[in-house]
């Protein structure tokens, strides 16, 4: 049964994070780079829904740390990773909040993917 992990609503900005009760695969360039039963769905006002997966379930050999960072006034500072699969690099395809703001601690050990950098997410 899906459950709400975060229900944030401050400064007229709403963000909800819920568990996903399905097996998920993320595929890029024909390779399964993530397989998990422990994903989260982050829904943020003004943005599309984003699947967050546990870092522990990613095949990290395909991930390369990037120097890129971005800041969200709600979630904190995001660190980026590039995907390198079969000699093809997709720069800054993945992000995670290593030290999220206190309201978003539940996504600390999770990462999200730029939908344009992956082939598909199978739910």
- Strand ranges, E, within the chain: 4-10, 13-19, 24-28, 31-36, 40-44, 50-54, 63-72, 76-85, 88-100, 110-113, 120-122
* Each residue's pLDDT tens digit, 53-63: 999 999 999 99
Give me the pLDDT at residue 21, please.
96
Where do the domains of the chain lie, and which CATH numbers do they carry? 4-116 (2.170.150.40)
pLDDT range class, residue 90, cuts 50, 70, 90: very high
Cα–Cα separations (whole angstroms), residue 33 to 51, 70, 72, 83:
14, 23, 26, 9
């Amino acid at each position: 049964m899906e459950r709400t992990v975060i229900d944030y609503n401050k400064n007229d900005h709403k963000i909800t994070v819920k568990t996903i009760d399905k097996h998920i695969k993320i595929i890029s360039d024909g390779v399964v780079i993530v397989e998990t039963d422990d994903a989260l769905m982050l829904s943020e006002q003004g943005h599309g829904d984003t699947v967050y997966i546990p870092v522990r379930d990613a095949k990290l050999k395909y991930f390369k740390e990037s120097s890129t960072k971005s800041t969200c006034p709600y979630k904190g500072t995001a660190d980026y990773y590039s995907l390198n699969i079969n000699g093809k690099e997709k720069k800054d395809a993945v992000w995670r909040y290593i030290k999220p703001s206190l309201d978003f601690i539940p996504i600390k050990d999770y990462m999200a993917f730029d939908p344009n950098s992956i082939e598909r997410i199978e739910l």
